[in-house]
């Protein structure tokens, strides 16, 4: 390829775009088929990437070829490879081929669907793609969807709507000083995005009540009901409950139907955080994961977690989108349009005005794989997780610390000769460091009942049984090396 100097005026020429684009697509295809060749967890030292880059911007233009060369030399070594099939940390996610291609198109089109007229296609495709996903999740048609960037933002909007429903004057008057202190309830295993939402909404971190869980890390509805009653008696204002379907640490599923009954009794907003676990409900036999969610006010599921969608895309569903609009809609003169009131202007359902054309990738993925293809892939991840769990269960020196309802296994090394929880925690932390230092796999950890636990998450579209088997071999081999003499 001939390196072309950037033109003095205007954009890159079509020919240069074509040449660079082909090179890029070839690189991506090669990367996706062999991402395992890189250390999954970047070996970059803190500051190394920044130090390798010039401190000041270039005065002249740089041929794209050179930029690409720098990308390979400087950026790639600083990547942790989320798109590697041996990435087993956090929630393992994957950008699938159709999703990547659709995202590429989305950048090229540069649609900004704040108003229906600024992109009728993006507006209407978002409605259709979300409605397809809603059907796959088994939610009733009364749920209207909107795409946000992340589950954190979806949950923030859900709790803003709950606040709007309970305290409609907040929008004009702000949080009234001296009013009844608000309360939001979630399990002790709820994601930290719930904490951040109550903080940001001005409810105060203290307003979040962490309800105790049972031995399988699920919120106890009786304790929830008791907390609400106590708070009412103390003059507090319960606003909302967040139930989680697929908690971050163990993928436990709160009993949504029982929680819905409590919410209905007290008129509280029920938000279901199914950011990760919602996808499981697509798999035949796993519909129970969202049982009761049809009674919720809102729900979030993240296609960028377990539905093969390149980051980011969070699907927010709400049965009371009118309340979300009441909280967020604000139309200045320069955004008023002559379309009939029936058109949907996406800027009305959230804090963002500008928004990316994310629906394109969800639509492409749902079409490319089809519901059967998606279900088969999710079911395979669950099978692999059960297989890994069985290996752990059979091993004398390892134990499993949580059920495996989806595709995450929480386990722990219990080396002979090491007694005491603190010493076991240190051994497991050391084991995790060694496993990740191999560069072959990347696992993460959590803390359950005060104990340091290793966590293996399977969710990558290209993860196969041999990858999972390799992870188990590495864990055992590193444990054998670390074992006290
Ligand atoms: C249960 C749950 N909810 C919410 C989130 C936040 O997701 P996001 O990164 O999309 O904000 C996570 C992240 O892992 C999660 O596990």
Q: Read off the pLDDT of residues 234-268 as tens digits, 9 standing for 90 and up.
A: 999 999 999 999 999 999 999 999 999 999 999 99
CA of 103 to the centre of ligand 1 (A): 21
DSSP string for 264-277: HHHT-EEEEE-TTG
- pLDDT of 2 reads 59
Per-residue confidence band for 8, with pLDDT thresholds at 50, 70 and 90: confident
- Pick the closest to residue 237 from 271, 195, 209 (CA basis): 209
Q: What mean pLDDT is reported for the chain?
A: 96
Task: Indicate if the pLDDT at residue 329 is higher than 70.
Answer: yes
The atom number, within ligand 1, closest to the CA of 277 reads 1
444 pairs with which residues across the strands?
455
- Whether this prediction's pTM lies above 0.85 is answered by yes
What are 217-234's pLDDT values in tens digits? 999 999 999 999 999 999
Residue to mutate, 250, 280, 299, 305, ligand 1, most ligand atoms under 8 Å from C-beta: 305
Q: How far is the centre of ligand 1, averaged over its atoms, from the C-alpha of 151 (Å)?
A: 5
Q: How far is the CA of 124 from the centre of ligand 1 (A)?
A: 26
**Nearest atom (ligand 1) to Cα of 274:** 1
Task: Locate 484 and state its tokens.
Answer: 């006290």
Predicted local distance difference test score (pLDDT) of residue 484: 72
* C-alpha to C-alpha distance for 207 and 239, rounded to whole angstroms: 10
Q: What is the best residue among 193, 242, 358 to mutate for testing ligand 1's pocket, by most ligand atoms within 8 Å of CB?
A: 193
Residue closest by Cα to atom 15 of ligand 1:
248
pLDDT at 303 over 60: yes
Question: What spacing in Å lies between the alpha carbon of 477 and ligand 1's midpoint?
Answer: 32
Taking Cα atoms as reference points, which of 89, 72, 68, 66 lies closest to residue 38? 72
Element spanning 187, H or E: strand 182-187
Q: What angle is formed at CA 353 by the lines to CA 350 and CA 354, rounded to 5 degrees?
A: 120
* Contact call for residues 256 and 289 (beta carbons, < 8 A): no
Provide the pLDDT for residue 5.
87
At 54-85, the pLDDT tens digits run 999 999 999 999 999 999 999 999 999 999 99
338 C-alpha to center of ligand 1: Å?
38
Q: What is the pLDDT of residue 177?
A: 64
Strands 314-318 and 144-148: antiparallel
- pLDDT at residue 1 tops 60: no
Nearest atom, ligand 1, residue 314 CA: 10
pLDDT confidence band for 326 (50 / 70 / 90): very high
How large is the average pLDDT for residues 30-49? 96
- Residues lining ligand 1, CB < 6 A? 91, 150-152, 191, 193, 244, 246-248, 273, 275-276, 302, 314
The angle, 0 to 180 degrees and rounded to 10, between the axes of the packed helices 221-233 and 256-266 is 20
Which of helix, strand or coil describes residue 57? coil
How much is the pLDDT for 3? 65
The band of 346, judged by pLDDT with boundaries at 50, 70 and 90, is very high
CB 68: neighbour CB atoms within 10 A? Answer: 17
Minimum CA distance residue for ligand 1 atom 5: 151
Whether residue 280 contacts residue 375, with contact meaning beta carbons closer than 8 Å, is answered with no
CB neighbours of 379 closer than 8 A, spacing ≥ 6? 283, 284
Counting ligand 1 atoms within 8 A of each CB, the residue from 93, 148, 152 with the most, and so the one to mutate, is 152
- Summarize the confidence of residues 123-149 as an average pLDDT: 98
Tell me the backbone φ, ψ of residue 59, rounded to 5 degrees. Answer: -80, -40
Distance between Cα 191 and ligand 1 center (Å): 6
3-state secondary structure of 358: coil
Q: What residue owns the CA closest to ligand 1's atom 16?
A: 248
Nearest-atom index, ligand 1, CA of 152: 11
Looking at the chain, the whole-number percentage of residues with pLDDT higher than 90 is 95
Three-state secondary-structure class, residue 450: coil
What is the torsion angle, in degrees rounded to the nearest 10, for the CA atoms of residue 195, residue 452, residue 303 and residue 268? Answer: -30
């Amino acid at each position: 390829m001939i390196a072309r100097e950037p033109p003095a005026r205007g954009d890159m020429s079509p020919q240069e775009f074509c040449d660079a684009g082909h090179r890029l697509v070839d690189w991506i295809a090669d990367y996706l088929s062999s991402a395992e060749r890189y250390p999954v967890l970047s070996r970059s030292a803190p500051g190394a990437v920044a130090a390798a880059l010039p401190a000041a911007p270039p005065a002249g233009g740089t041929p794209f070829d050179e930029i690409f060369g720098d990308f390979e030399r400087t950026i790639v070594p600083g990547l942790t490879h989320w798109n590697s099939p041996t990435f087993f940390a956090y929630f393992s996610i994957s950008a699938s081929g159709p999703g990547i291609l659709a995202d590429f198109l989305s950048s090229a089109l540069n649609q900004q669907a704040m108003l229906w007229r600024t992109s009728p296609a993006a507006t209407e495709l978002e409605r259709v793609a979300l409605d397809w996903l809603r059907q796959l999740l088994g939610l009733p048609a009364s749920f209207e969807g909107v795409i946000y960037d992340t589950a954190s933002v979806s949950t923030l909007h859900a709790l803003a709507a709950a606040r709007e429903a309970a305290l409609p004057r907040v929008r004009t008057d702000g949080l009234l000083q001296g009013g009844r202190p608000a309360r939001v309830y979630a399990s002790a295993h709820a994601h930290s995005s719930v904490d951040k939402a109550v903080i940001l909404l001005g409810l105060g971190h203290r307003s979040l009540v962490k309800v105790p869980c049972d031995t399988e890390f699920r919120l106890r509805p009786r304790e929830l009901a008791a907390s609400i009653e106590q708070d009412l008696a103390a003059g507090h204002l319960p606003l909302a409950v967040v139930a989680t379907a697929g908690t971050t640490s163990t993928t436990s599923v709160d009993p949504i139907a029982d929680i819905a009954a409590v919410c209905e009794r007290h008129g509280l907003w029920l938000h279901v955080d199914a950011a990760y676990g919602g996808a499981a409900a697509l798999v035949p036999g796993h519909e129970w994961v969202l049982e009761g969610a049809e009674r919720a006010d809102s729900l979030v599921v993240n296609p960028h977690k377990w539905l093969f969608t390149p980051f980011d895309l969070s699907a927010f569903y709400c049965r009371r989108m009118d309340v979300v609009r009441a909280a967020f809609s604000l139309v200045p003169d320069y955004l008023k349009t002559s379309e009939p009131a029936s058109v949907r202007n996406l800027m009305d359902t959230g804090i963002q005005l500008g928004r990316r054309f994310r629906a394109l990738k969800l639509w492409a993925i749902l079409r490319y794989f089809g519901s059967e293809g998606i279900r088969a892939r999710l079911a395979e991840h669950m099978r692999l997780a059960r297989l890994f769990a069985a290996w752990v269960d059979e091993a004398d020196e390892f134990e499993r610390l949580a059920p495996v309802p989806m595709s995450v296994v929480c386990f722990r090394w219990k080396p002979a000769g090491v007694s005491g929880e603190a010493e076991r925690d240190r051994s497991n932390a050391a084991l995790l460091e060694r496993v990740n230092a191999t560069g072959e796999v990347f696992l993460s950890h959590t803390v359950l009942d005060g104990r340091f636990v290793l966590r293996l998450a399977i969710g990558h579209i290209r993860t196969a049984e041999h990858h999972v088997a390799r992870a188990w071999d590495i864990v055992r081999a590193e444990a054998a090396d670390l074992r006290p003499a």
